[in-house]
Amino acid sequence: MKKSSDAIQTTEPEYGITALESALQVLETIGEHPGLKARQLAERTGLTKSKVFRIIRTLEGLGYVDLDGDHGSVLGRSAYLLGKRAEQQWSLSRAATPILDELAALTLENVHLVVREGLHSLVVDVRISPQPIRMYAQVGRIGPLHAGGTPKVLLAYAPDAVVDEVLHSSLDQFTGTTVSDAHELQQILRRIRADGYHLALSDLENDTFSIAAPVFDHRAQVVAALSIAGPVMRLDQAKRHEFIHLVVEHANELSRALGHRAEPSAAL
Q: Poorest-confidence range of 28-42, 141-155, 254-268?
A: 254-268
For residues 70-85, average pLDDT: 86
Is 7 within the bounds of a domain? Answer: no
Let me know whether 173 and 59 are in one domain: no
For residues 69-97, average pLDDT: 85
Let me know whether 209 and 107 are in one domain: yes
Let me know whether 67 and 87 are in one domain: no
Residue 7 has pLDDT above 50, yes or no: no
Residue 265 has pLDDT above 70, yes or no: no
pLDDT of residue 263: 53
Please tell me the total count of domains within the chain: 2
Tens of pLDDT, residues 128-141: 999 888 777 778 88
Percent of the chain with pLDDT over 90: 68
Let me know whether 220 and 169 are in one domain: yes
Is 6 within the bounds of a domain? Answer: no
Let me know whether 119 and 158 are in one domain: yes
pLDDT of residue 14: 47
Let me know whether 65 and 97 are in one domain: no
Is 31 within the bounds of a domain? Answer: yes
Nearest CA among 192, 203, 205 for reference residue 163: 192
Residue 80 has pLDDT above 50, yes or no: yes
Nearest CA among 45, 11, 13 for reference residue 29: 45
The per-residue b/e assignment along 127-138, b for 16 or more CB within 10 angstroms, e otherwise, is bbbeeeebbebe
Cα–Cα distance between 98 and 182 in angstroms, integer?
Answer: 37
Let me know whether 136 and 225 are in one domain: yes
Are the C-beta atoms of residues 110 and 134 closer than 8 Å to each other?
Answer: yes
Which range among 4-13, 207-216, 255-264 has the greatest average pLDDT? 207-216
Let me know whether 106 and 167 are in one domain: yes
Nearest CA among 232, 268, 262 for reference residue 247: 268
The pTM (predicted TM-score) of the whole model is: 0.69
Residue 57 has pLDDT above 80, yes or no: yes
Q: Write the CATH number for 48.
A: 1.10.10.10
Is 187 within the bounds of a domain? Answer: yes
Phi, psi (degrees; rounded to nearest 5) at 169: -100, 175
Cα–Cα distance between 167 and 145 in angstroms, integer?
Answer: 10
Let me know whether 155 and 180 are in one domain: yes
pLDDT mean across residues, the chain = 88
Tens of pLDDT, residues 155-193: 999 999 999 999 999 999 999 899 999 999 999 999 999
Domain with 59, as residue range(s), is 18-75
Distance from the first to the final alpha carbon of the chain: 28
pLDDT of residue 259: 87
Is 225 within the bounds of a domain? Answer: yes
**Which pLDDT band holds residue 16 (cuts at 50, 70, 90)?**
low
Let me know whether 190 and 229 are in one domain: yes
Let me know whether 95 and 187 are in one domain: yes
